[in-house]
Structure 1
Amino acid sequence: MGEALVAQFAYLGTAAGVSCALAAVAGLLSHWLYFIRGNRTMETVNIILFYIFTMALLLFKTTSSQGLYHGIISYAEISGSYFLALFTSIGVYRLFLHPLRRFPGPFPAKITKLHTTWQNRDWKLHRRYLEMHEKYGDVVRVGPNDISIVNLEAFANIHGPQTKCTKRNTGFYDASVAKGELNLDALWHNEQHRDRRRVWDQALGTLERYEAETRTVLRTFLSRLEQLQGIPINATLYAKLIPFDNMGRVGYGRDFRTVHDGREDRMLDLIESGFKAMARLGQTSWLVAALMMLPRIGMMREFEELGERLVDERISADSDDAHDMIKYFLADLNAEKPKSFHNINVMYNDSKAILVGATDTIACALAHAFFFIARDANFRRRLYDDIATAHGKTLPGEFTIADLNKLEFLDAAIHETLRIQAPAALNGPRMTPPEGIVVDGEHIPGGVTLCPKYWKRPNEFIPERWTTRPDLILDRRAFVPFSFGRFDCVGRRLAFNVLRLAIAYTLWNFDFSFAPGEDGRAFEEEAKFQLIIKPGKLDCVFIKRPEAAA
């Protein structure tokens, strides 16, 4: 032992030993003077380039002065000393000195956010988060600087209108920057978000004018069902195609015809590509940022080009008769003093937000509505009786939103569907203010990223909890499927309208149930977490109602 220590000190006295010692000190200083001081997500590419340049320079210097063999050995010793000291310092700090050290959670999550990437290796992150909360409680440390909270008071403190928590510096939203602009969902600056939101609210403020577009899509869907009557079809697929075609009409004034064709379009694959990348990387923001800042390749590049192409084609076809969301964006862009759309790149980025927001969230909710309706004949009959009272009430032979809005049981069914499975399994992260926040007497430190048991029989689908069984709701404030506060979902009214119309028209015209051999297990067990929950396949058989044909 003594001889080993003597040999070690002797080595440190050599030039190589001094170089390694200095490299280790540099590693410690890099952590304590730079990396520990704030989120570095947007500097990821510069950091990577800096290390590539520095390591290349070190390799050149050692090999040119010591020869190839000894130079490579010396390079490995020096660079190894630096990174060993850097990562050891980071690990020790995160385990024993970090403000979140006292919060429970999986051991690997305390050291690296890559643990989340591993947890979502099979797209089941939503289930593993649930398991972690069942094991560790309401507050779980899910990353070195991240905690997940399932607590109503916390949700209000984090997402409410008076919150001091912010999207800024979480790294999650910064990674979505494209051509120097952020889309509506990623804007963290309150004033900028407010101004952009006003334009979106105006675009979605006259939903009654979009009602006819949704009805047109649903008529195509009903025709398709009539062609396939009695044949098992994948209801999950059409739950995706309906809002996608509706988005084309409402957003861009065009028909994508996927419902008519009965198959997914390449555009849907492109929309999902971004979700898959973000979900697969487990919200490891620095890694996402590195990929996003590099030249776009493959499907990611195609998706960007799609958002731009749809805008360019819509501008080329502009007319006074056009009425869609892009019309309002263009009006602001061309205004003498634009509120938010100061250049075409803003519109390009928000075009992608239309593609995503108006498709996937509604698709998830509609698929689950089809699932619960097809599964239970008694529920199906009661819901049919409810919507029957609204058919033709204002518009002969049709349903209208004004009439459907008055149906208590239809709304209860939609609310219960969204309670059981909100489309966004995890709410967007927020950064706590410097002074931190207090949740149920528990102080959450400042500068921490947050991801936010209030029902009886919570895992059971019971629409009556919203009507005749209010005793099953312990706290109604816990129902926030589209979040709330200043950053709530701008398209929530559109989503509810599409769900009401789709359920009403489908159930009025067709009785449907699980196809022979279908038990619904694949629908639930094959669900994937890709930021939005993507349910599995659901085969159903649709039979035309005689009264609807009359």
Structure 2
Amino acid sequence: MATPSPVLLLSATAAALGLHEFVLRRVEVDHLSLPIIVTASTLFWSTAYHSGFLFATSLAAAFWVPLTIWILLYRAFWHPLKNIPGPMGARLSKFWALKTTYETNFHYHNVLVALQKQYGDYVRTGPREVSIFDPAALQPVFGGASKTSKGPFYDVLEKSLHLNRDKPFHRQRRRIWDNGMKDSLADFAPRVEEFTEQLLTRLHKDNGKLVPLLDYATYYSYDVMTALAFGDAMGFIKGDSSGAADSILATFTNGLSAMGYMYHMPWLLNALTPFTSIAGPLKEWKDWSVVQMKARMAKPDTKPDFASHLINNSQDCLNILLGDSRLLVTAGSETTSTALTFTFMHLACHPHYMRAVRKEFREHLDTYHCDHPVPFLDAVIDESMRMWPSIFFGSQRLTPPEGLNINGHYIPGDTIVTIPPFVMYRDERNFARPNEFIPERWTTMPELVHNKTAFQPFSMGSYSCAGKALAKMELRSVIGRVINEFDVVLPEGFDEKEYFANVKDHMSSGPPPQMVRFVKLKE
């Protein structure tokens, strides 16, 4: 069987090294992962067909083996980030993050805490990635005047307000979202209260019974967000959801573990994205959302709402409208459900805070509105989000070509930087007694907050969360009204330390399943 000549083998090796020096070092290829895989596979199998399998394998080895070795040597010893400390495995490949995620059972947030202690505030956590734990980096990286841009993670899946790296497009689309939120949220507040009323009705039926807290929080948040995005809820709280809705929810909840791996390697998500429109559970979600949006578009508007605002400003691009509506549901539901779950759990673990929230809520009943601050209730919510932020993923930013100077540290250009919120919120430089749940730090004990700007649960700058006001409305409505009528009681033998030790990093935070009792107050 024929084998390549020495000249051909050397040419393949030279081509590999040239590819790295003149292309891979200078051009971001994360978004080209699928074309690269398809091209490489096509060349291999076409060579195997014409010249034999051994010939193709030898030629491929002469290309890929030297390329791999050269890349690893470059990343370890010659890369612009070579002087930034970090684990050797992380310098070589993001597979290190996948391996660490697997070995720690999705506790990557704790790995980052350990890395800060070992290496300091600037740690190389990927071949071209630096995780920053220095609060002085917040403004240069995320602030309104920042010169950074979004990282390759935002090229994944479908284009929307959030998942895109085009600054002019984002500015234009964000303006639409902000205007829509401002114009419609006040009118949407009664819908929020309506869904809270449905939840209260269900809790009255389940009075004293053990119920799955995370599931109930998820039902609520998905109903609210589908109503906002499409005009109609999925019907989870009432228990009359369709089979398609149940399947879609199962897809999202069961897919969280996959996201715990995938967010470390956006190139892999990019490679898989085209297949989600062909078959599988995500296709079902996309098809369902198309049907819902077309039905919403066909409805004559009796009163403008957020959905109609998006529709009216997306007439020329149905794909963007669908991308935004799906973003609204998935991003808004998951984050709110985890925030609700953790807040209820903290109150159940600290009943004196539950009583304090109830007392304040009743004192403000005459003026209560979910769109208005309720000081101690808000403090409890903020403290819960500080201890367990809904998103563990430190949003990727790309430094400008000239690099970035932060607090005496130079970060080379075209470097992916992240600021993981969990580590920031557990840093004693920012918060005294950071591992303790103390809502008073936001009210009567401000001395426990050393650096208030470090707390950014909805991010900051031009890419901050567009749904912050809605999330606050939901949290106030559910926490306030439920605690006003119920005690949240944990089952016998519950171990608070064990529960929170089992919180997982799925990009979003993953509360463990926990049964609780909502017990109606006798007064």
Q: 1:165 aligns with which of 148, 161, 181?
A: 148
Deviation per CA, 1:245-281: give whole Å up to 9, x if none.
1112222221322112299832322334665444322
Deviation per CA, 1:325-378: give whole Å up to 9, x if none.
2110122234xxxxxxx3111111111111112201111111111011111121
2:369 aligned partner? 400
Question: Aligned pair in 2 of structure 1 residues 78, 15: CA closer, same or farther (>3 Å)?
Answer: closer
For 1:127, give the aligned amino acid.
N
Contact 2:16 2:67 in 1 (8 A): yes
Deviation per CA, 1:77-98: give whole Å up to 9, x if none.
3221211111111111101110
Is the partner of 1:186 in helix, strand or coil? Answer: coil
2:61 aligned partner? 80
Matches within 5 A, 1:312-351: 312-316=294-298, 318-334=299-315, 342-351=316-325
Deviation per CA, 1:153-199: give whole Å up to 9, x if none.
112111100000001xx32111223xxxx110123222211111121
Deviation per CA, 1:374-410: give whole Å up to 9, x if none.
111211111111111112x04xxxx4225x51x3211
Is the partner of 2:124 in helix, strand or coil? Answer: strand
Deviation per CA, 1:27-61: give whole Å up to 9, x if none.
11121122222211222222122212221233234
For 1:253, give the aligned amino acid.
G
2:45 aligned partner? 56
2:269 aligned partner? 288
1:11 aligned partner? none
1:501 aligned partner? 477
Q: Compute the TM-score of the two structures, normalised by the length of structure 2.
A: 0.92
Answering whether residue 303 of structure 2 is matched by residue 307 of structure 1, we say no
Matches within 5 A, 1:79-118: 79-118=60-99
Q: Distance in 2 between matches of 1:15 and 1:459?
A: 62
2:422 aligned partner? none
For 2:347, give the aligned amino acid.
I
Contact 2:339 2:384 in 1 (8 A): yes
Offset, 1:312: 1.5
Q: Distance in 1 between matches of 2:26 and 2:211?
A: 54
Answering whether residue 222 of structure 2 is matched by residue 249 of structure 1, we say no
Contact 1:114 1:282 in 2 (8 A): no
Contact 2:17 2:70 in 1 (8 A): yes
Q: 2:25 aligns with which of 36, 46, 60?
A: 36
Q: Which runs of 5+ in 2 are unaligned?
A: 420-426
Q: Distance in 2 between matches of 1:105 and 1:304?
A: 40
Deviation per CA, 1:472-531: give whole Å up to 9, x if none.
111111110010100000000110111011111101111222122323355423323222
Is the partner of 1:474 in helix, strand or coil? Answer: coil
Contact 1:512 1:541 in 2 (8 A): yes
Q: 1:184 aligns with which of 148, 161, 164?
A: 161
- State the percentage of identical aligned residues: 27
1:486 aligned partner? 462
Contact 2:248 2:281 in 1 (8 A): no
Contact 1:271 1:303 in 2 (8 A): no
Larger Rg belongs to: 1
1:439 aligned partner? 406
Answering whether residue 202 of structure 2 is matched by residue 202 of structure 1, we say no
Deviation per CA, 1:53-75: give whole Å up to 9, x if none.
22123323433xxxxxxxx4343
Matches within 5 A, 1:451-470: 451-452=418-419, 453=427, 454-470=430-446
Contact 1:112 1:144 in 2 (8 A): yes
For 1:250, give the aligned amino acid.
L
Is the partner of 2:395 in helix, strand or coil? Answer: coil
Q: Distance in 1 between matches of 2:250 and 2:369?
A: 32
For 2:369, give the aligned amino acid.
T
Question: Aligned pair in 2 of structure 1 residues 43, 410: CA closer, same or farther (>3 Å)?
Answer: same
For 2:511, give the aligned amino acid.
P
Deviation per CA, 1:195-217: give whole Å up to 9, x if none.
11121112211322111111111
Q: 2:250 aligns with which of 269, 275, 287?
A: 269
Offset, 1:130: 2.2
Contact 2:314 2:320 in 1 (8 A): no
1:387 aligned partner? 361
Is the partner of 2:162 in helix, strand or coil? Answer: helix
Offset, 1:223: 1.3
For 2:266, give the aligned amino acid.
S
2:423 aligned partner? none
Q: Distance in 2 between matches of 1:201 and 1:102?
A: 42
Is the partner of 2:293 in helix, strand or coil? Answer: helix
Q: Distance in 1 between matches of 2:141 and 2:433?
A: 27
Q: Compute the TM-score of the two structures, normalised by the length of structure 1.
A: 0.87
Answering whether residue 490 of structure 2 is matched by residue 514 of structure 1, we say yes
Is the partner of 1:543 in helix, strand or coil? Answer: strand
Offset, 1:140: 1.3
1:213 aligned partner? 191
Q: Distance in 1 between matches of 2:274 and 2:80?
A: 31
RMSD: 2.0
Contact 1:273 1:299 in 2 (8 A): no
Offset, 1:535: 0.5
1:150 aligned partner? 133
Aligned residues: 505
Is the partner of 1:140 in helix, strand or coil? Answer: strand
For 2:475, give the aligned amino acid.
L
Contact 2:155 2:165 in 1 (8 A): no
Answering whether residue 123 of structure 2 is matched by residue 140 of structure 1, we say yes
Offset, 1:323: 4.3
Q: Distance in 1 between matches of 2:514 and 2:212?
A: 5
Q: Distance in 2 between matches of 1:203 and 1:501?
A: 21
Contact 1:523 1:537 in 2 (8 A): no
For 1:315, give the aligned amino acid.
M
